[in-house]
Structure 1
Amino acid sequence: MRAVVADLAGSRIREVANEGMGREGVLRFWFGESDQVTPDFVREAAMASLQAGDTFYAHNLGLPELREAIAAYTDRLHPGRGAAHWLDRVAVTSGGVNGLMLASQTLVDAGDEVVVVTPAWPNLAAQPAIMGARVRCVPLRVQAGAWALDLDALLAAITPSTRLLIVNAPNNPTGWTLSADEQRAILAHCRRTGTWVLADEVYERLYYAHDTPNGAASSFLDVAEPDDRLVVAHSFSKSFLMTGWRLGWLVLPAFLTEAVGKLIEFNTSCAPVFVQRAAQLALARGDEITPGLVAHLRTCRDTLVPLLQALPGVELAVPKGGMYAFFRLAGHDDCLAVAKRLVREAGLGLAPGSAFGPEATGWLRWCFASREPQRLIDGVDRLKGWLAGQARL
């Protein structure tokens, strides 16, 4: 076994979830997914595809019809170039995580330097490490519970020796977002250093501010030149309620598309046709899914965050994007131990911040994508009771 594989850390989120296995009545907010099922019409499209016999291989890069739909969708969100511009820049992948891994396989050699903005979903740093890269983390800074980018520090960390920058915004777990001006500055600097940018933008549509014309978070695609060294990863999981379907896509320079297609052949061959048919309909009827989902998530966020902020010792800022409240409790710095105790002693399942990088040690992530906001209220009541019990000890 390769040493880098042997040394991979296990998921601390799973470690906490294992504490809840077999326990009745635990309120589970540890995983990053909504508890709403995929809409009926999307599921029915998959079933119709199976009934029609769509059980064979597809093109490595995805069904032409789905790629055309993704290109049109991309142009609606990032207008100005036309859908035809995007069509030969789209590669359908077996989930967003597969797309991110394909990007690392395409761009990173052993020994390359990769910079990752953290805290971040652990896969973002682990994937280039698996490829043998030297990973450097540039942490966001915290002020009054809000996470922000030290742009000067990031740009200083990116040198001509930096092969790849990986950035996730809107960010899991913090809810931090990038401004268009910051994206322009990052791209301009990376052009000078010859550095590739891998942007994980799977939460682009889960955005709650009102400062963009399309309602989505600012994207690198809005400010990039056509041949910039930029790869953007997307997924059907979050914005279309399709986490278990494992389907995503990459937007990349046209000259990379064929190479990524070859890598898809050696990884998964192709995404299942019936899943792609379902995704095609999800895009066609996306206005029946995403706007309502975002409105519901805003309600969930605005239910949970004030209740948490009212608890003694809680540090938390309102997230602009994503589906997470990221907070810390004064005097409870061992977040992994706290998360496990909350499962056992309060029936409350949260993710430990240390799962997302050492700079997030002491923090907890609460996924607020709950079908019933009352579950969030009940969860806060459990946390409040647990904190009161700790204060009496």
Structure 2
Amino acid sequence: MTYPAVARDSVRALSSSRIRDVANAAMGRADVLPFWFGESEQSTPDFVRKAAEASLQRGETFYSQNLGQPALRQAIADYLTALHGRPFDMERVGVTGSGLQALMLAAQLVLEPGDRVVAVTPIWPNLVEIPRILGATVERVPLGITGGRWQLDADRLIAALTPDTRLLILNSPGNPTGWVIDRETQKAVFEHCRRHGIWVLADDVYERLVYEAGQKSAPSFLTLAEPEDRVISANSFSKAWSMTGWRVGWLTVPPSLSADLTKLVEFNTSCVPQFVQAGALAAITGGETYVKQQAGELTAARDRLFGALRALPGVELPEATGAMYAFFRITGFDDCMMLARALISETGLGLAPGSAFGPEGEGWLRWCYAASPAKLNEGIERLSRFVAKRIAA
């Protein structure tokens, strides 16, 4: 008897990334302007690259501590202390091989097969597929649009967070919408989860990319929770420091999880390379000026793109005050995969289909505006021609 060589059912049931489905068909084409991935077109700052180069020159190519070098863990704890205005101990910090691995490790820490997970959506698909890989089920609570802004119905979310819920996943500022949770809602959700013993996994990757005047970062669950509360924060160097290809992030966990997190890191990747950690240390200790500069540039890019899109006929673009995306739709185009492919074939404009972020995103498109003014202007011009042509037809 020959047995079929197939993966287990829960893996085979996973959906492929629709962002990749669109991008892979056009990557490398010189005539396509790509705005489909969530990353800055700027290379990592020079001072970060030089720190990694110096580490390599010193021959630092050996295994490191599972949770990261003490100097980097302490620097992250100091950064969190300064950012959030309350003390954080390095024992709560674990360095991970990307923000994505941080999310996977967090899920591995708390989820069992059959557990119930609630997620605020639309959301980056990896966040809801990770629990499914581990055999959990996911209920989606969608954002709505009120007064031209993305809004979370707190009552609806809290109703979904039944006592048998194991984990809430919440990404704010959100990918793809740019929605940012307000403090009052965050506090109500946290208090409900604490009362029922529900874990909170906060994807804080975009927390520094906020555009309200005087705002240093998005509201954080870490500032509401005591160290031993059931709150885990996943973060990354990818966005605020333009280090997507470095694959380095961190987790902030209750102290009681530290030993178990150490074991999970060992059995997943063992450790993050020393020279990558050297770059991360340079970023977290010397990159505040860069973070603020990038936030200013993204604010200008956001204002330019949002204004141009809203000037086009049939475009709906709710207000968003965080992340690096415009999430919009055009009247008359209900199939966003078809629309994304048409934009590539007819105008050379590469956007991500909204359905990649769940059924709530059907009919929508995501445009990453972490790009130069010239590239944004050309993209706007291409979309304008496309819309004008379709209206004329």
**What TM-score range do you get, normalising by the shorter chain?**
over 0.9
Please give the root-mean-square deviation of Cα atoms over the aligned residues, in Å. Answer: 1.0
Q: 1:143 aligns with which of 118, 143, 146?
A: 146
1:251 to 2:256 alignment: no
**Counterpart of 2:8?**
2
Please report how far the alpha carbon of residue 289 of structure 1 lies from its aligned counterpart in structure 2 after TM superposition. Answer: 1.3
Please report how far the alpha carbon of residue 229 of structure 1 lies from its aligned counterpart in structure 2 after TM superposition. Answer: 0.3
Find the aligned partners of 1:296 and 1:22 in 2 and give their Cα distance.
Answer: 26
Find the aligned partners of 2:363 and 2:292 in 1 and give their Cα distance.
Answer: 34
Which segment is superposed worse, 135-144 or 98-107?
135-144
Please report how far the alpha carbon of residue 199 of structure 1 lies from its aligned counterpart in structure 2 after TM superposition. Answer: 0.2
Please report how far the alpha carbon of residue 103 of structure 1 lies from its aligned counterpart in structure 2 after TM superposition. Answer: 0.5
Judge conservation of contact 2:125–2:358 (CA < 8 Å) in 1.
Answer: yes
Please report how far the alpha carbon of residue 287 of structure 1 lies from its aligned counterpart in structure 2 after TM superposition. Answer: 2.1
**Counterpart of 1:334?**
335
SS at match of 1:20: coil
Letter of the aligned partner of 1:36 in structure 2?
A: Q
Judge conservation of contact 1:195–1:229 (CA < 8 Å) in 2.
Answer: yes
**Counterpart of 1:185?**
188
Which segment is superposed worse, 142-151 or 188-197?
142-151
Please report how far the alpha carbon of residue 24 of structure 1 lies from its aligned counterpart in structure 2 after TM superposition. Answer: 2.3
Within 5 Å, give how 1:209-220 maps onto structure 2.
209-210=212-213, 212=215, 215-220=216-221
Judge conservation of contact 2:150–2:319 (CA < 8 Å) in 1.
Answer: no
Find the aligned partners of 2:271 and 2:28 in 1 and give their Cα distance.
Answer: 36
**Counterpart of 1:302?**
303
Find the aligned partners of 2:334 and 2:27 in 1 and give their Cα distance.
Answer: 24
Judge conservation of contact 1:19–1:340 (CA < 8 Å) in 2.
Answer: no
**Counterpart of 1:290?**
291
Within 5 Å, give how 1:165-314 maps onto structure 2.
165-210=168-213, 212=215, 215-314=216-315
Judge conservation of contact 1:144–1:316 (CA < 8 Å) in 2.
Answer: no
1:68 to 2:74 alignment: yes
Find the aligned partners of 1:391 and 1:287 in 2 and give their Cα distance.
Answer: 46
Judge conservation of contact 1:20–1:344 (CA < 8 Å) in 2.
Answer: no
Find the aligned partners of 2:288 and 2:161 in 1 and give their Cα distance.
Answer: 39
**Counterpart of 2:324?**
323
Deviations along 1:175-197, one digit per CA (max 9) or x if unpaired, are 00111211111111011211000
Please report how far the alpha carbon of residue 146 of structure 1 lies from its aligned counterpart in structure 2 after TM superposition. Answer: 2.4
Please report how far the alpha carbon of residue 143 of structure 1 lies from its aligned counterpart in structure 2 after TM superposition. Answer: 3.1
Find the aligned partners of 2:180 and 2:362 in 1 and give their Cα distance.
Answer: 20
**Counterpart of 2:376?**
376
Q: 1:18 aligns with which of 13, 17, 24?
A: 24
Find the aligned partners of 1:198 and 1:135 in 2 and give their Cα distance.
Answer: 14
| Change beyond 3 A, Cα 1:216–1:22 | closer
Find the aligned partners of 1:345 and 1:74 in 2 and give their Cα distance.
Answer: 46
Find the aligned partners of 1:192 and 1:38 in 2 and give their Cα distance.
Answer: 42
**Counterpart of 2:161?**
158
Letter of the aligned partner of 2:285 in structure 1?
A: A
**Counterpart of 2:60?**
54
Gapped regions of structure 1 (runs ≥ 5): none
Judge conservation of contact 1:113–1:133 (CA < 8 Å) in 2.
Answer: yes
Judge conservation of contact 1:145–1:327 (CA < 8 Å) in 2.
Answer: no
Please report how far the alpha carbon of residue 210 of structure 1 lies from its aligned counterpart in structure 2 after TM superposition. Answer: 2.3
Find the aligned partners of 1:22 and 1:231 in 2 and give their Cα distance.
Answer: 38
1:113 to 2:116 alignment: yes
Deviations along 1:96-137, one digit per CA (max 9) or x if unpaired, are 000000011111000000001100000110000100001111
SS at match of 2:89: helix
SS at match of 1:42: helix
**Counterpart of 2:3?**
none
**Counterpart of 2:4?**
none
Q: TM-score scaled to structure 1, two decimals? A: 0.97
Find the aligned partners of 1:184 and 1:146 in 2 and give their Cα distance.
Answer: 20
Find the aligned partners of 1:227 and 1:196 in 2 and give their Cα distance.
Answer: 11
Q: 1:31 aligns with which of 37, 42, 45?
A: 37
Judge conservation of contact 1:59–1:270 (CA < 8 Å) in 2.
Answer: yes
Judge conservation of contact 1:61–1:91 (CA < 8 Å) in 2.
Answer: yes
Please report how far the alpha carbon of residue 211 of structure 1 lies from its aligned counterpart in structure 2 after TM superposition. Answer: 5.4
Judge conservation of contact 1:346–1:386 (CA < 8 Å) in 2.
Answer: yes
SS at match of 2:341: helix
Deviations along 1:349-392, one digit per CA (max 9) or x if unpaired, are 0000000010111000000000x212111111101101111122
SS at match of 2:321: coil
